[in-house]
Amino acid sequence: MSIPQKDPHSIETTVKDEQLLAVTTEDRLPLTTNQGQRVSTDKYSLKAGKRGPTLLEDYILREKIQHFDHERIPERVVHARGAAAHGYFQLTQSLEKYTTAQVLTDTSLKTPVFVRFSTVAGSRGSADTARDVRGFAVKMYTNEGNWDIVGNNIPVFFIQDAIKFPDLIHAVKPEPNNEIPQASSAHDTFYDFISLTPESMHMIMWVMSDRAIPRSFSTMEGFGVHSFRLINAQNESHFVKFHWKPVLGVHSLVWDEAVKIAGQDPDFHRRSMWESIEAGNFFEWELGVQILPEADEEKFDFDVLDATKIWPEDLIPVQRVGKMTLNRNPDNYFSETEQVAFMTTNIVPGIDFSNDPLLQGRNFSYLDTQLSRLGTPNFHELPINRPVCPFSNNQRDAHMRHTINKGRVAYTPASLDGHSPEEERPGSGFNSYGQVVNGPKVRERAESFNDHYGQARLFWNSMAPIEKEHIVKALQFELSKVDTREVRVRMLGHLAQINDVLAAQVALAIGEKMPGSQKTEQPSGTSDVPALLEMLGNAESPTTASGGVLKTSGLSMMEGQPKLAKGRQVAILTAPGVSSMCIETMQKNLAEQGVAGFVVAPFIGDVEGDKGTVEAKKTFANSSSVLFDAVYIPGGTSVQMLKQLPDARKFIDEAFKHGKPIAASGEGVQLVDATMTGVLLKDADAKAQGVILDSAGNAKTVSSAFVEAISSHRFNNRQVDMIQA
Q: Which residues bind ligand HDE (CB under 6 A)?
A: 76-79, 82, 116, 118, 135, 137, 150-152, 157, 162, 165, 225, 340, 342, 358, 361-362, 365-366, 369
178 is catalytic: no
Smallest separation (angstroms) from ligand HDE to the CB of 237: 21
Residue nearest to ligand HDE (CB): 135
Residue 363, judged by CB atoms within 10 A of its CB (0-12, 13-18, 19+), counts as middle
Smallest separation (angstroms) from ligand HDE to the CB of 340: 6
d(CA 85, CA 234): 37
150/258 with CB nearer ligand HDE: 150
Radius of gyration of the chain (CA): 29
Q: In sequence order, what are the beta bridge partners of 352?
A: 229
220/225 with CB nearer ligand HDE: 225
Smallest separation (angstroms) from ligand HDE to the CB of 645: 42
Smallest separation (angstroms) from ligand HDE to the CB of 306: 12
Smallest separation (angstroms) from ligand HDE to the CB of 285: 15
112/361 with CB nearer ligand HDE: 361
DSSP assignment string, 111-138 = EEEEEEEEESSS-TTS-TTSSS-EEEEE
Cα angle for residues 545, 547, 552 (degrees, 5° grid): 85
369/670 with CB nearer ligand HDE: 369
DSSP assignment string, 357-400 = HHHHHHHHHHHHHHHHHHSSGGGGGSTTT--SS----S----TT
166/493 with CB nearer ligand HDE: 166
344/585 with CB nearer ligand HDE: 344
34, 67, 70, 79: the active-site residue:
79
d(CA 648, CA 654): 10
Smallest separation (angstroms) from ligand HDE to the CB of 151: 5
Smallest separation (angstroms) from ligand HDE to the CB of 288: 15
Smallest separation (angstroms) from ligand HDE to the CB of 47: 44
d(CA 438, CA 19): 75
Amino acid present at 658: H
152 is catalytic: yes
Of 707, 716, 715, the C-alpha closest to 563 is 707
SS3 at position 222: strand
Q: Are 666 and 636 in contact (CB under 8 A)?
A: yes
Smallest separation (angstroms) from ligand HDE to the CB of 379: 10
Burial 396-434 (b: 16+ CB within 10 A, else e): eeeeeeeeeeeeebeeeeeeeeeebeeeeeeeeeeeeee
Q: In sequence order, what are the beta bridge partners of 285?
A: 246, 324
365/517 with CB nearer ligand HDE: 365
Q: Are 277 and 422 in contact (CB under 8 A)?
A: no
Amino acid present at 234: Q
d(CA 460, CA 488): 20
Which residues have C-beta within 8 Å of that of residue 555, sequence separation ≥ 6?
458, 459, 462, 463
DSSP assignment string, 261-272 = HHHH-TTHHHHH
Amino acid present at 485: R
146, 152, 346, 378: the active-site residue:
152
141/628 with CB nearer ligand HDE: 141
84/671 with CB nearer ligand HDE: 84
Q: Are 424 and 469 in contact (CB under 8 A)?
A: no
Residues taking part in catalysis: 79, 152
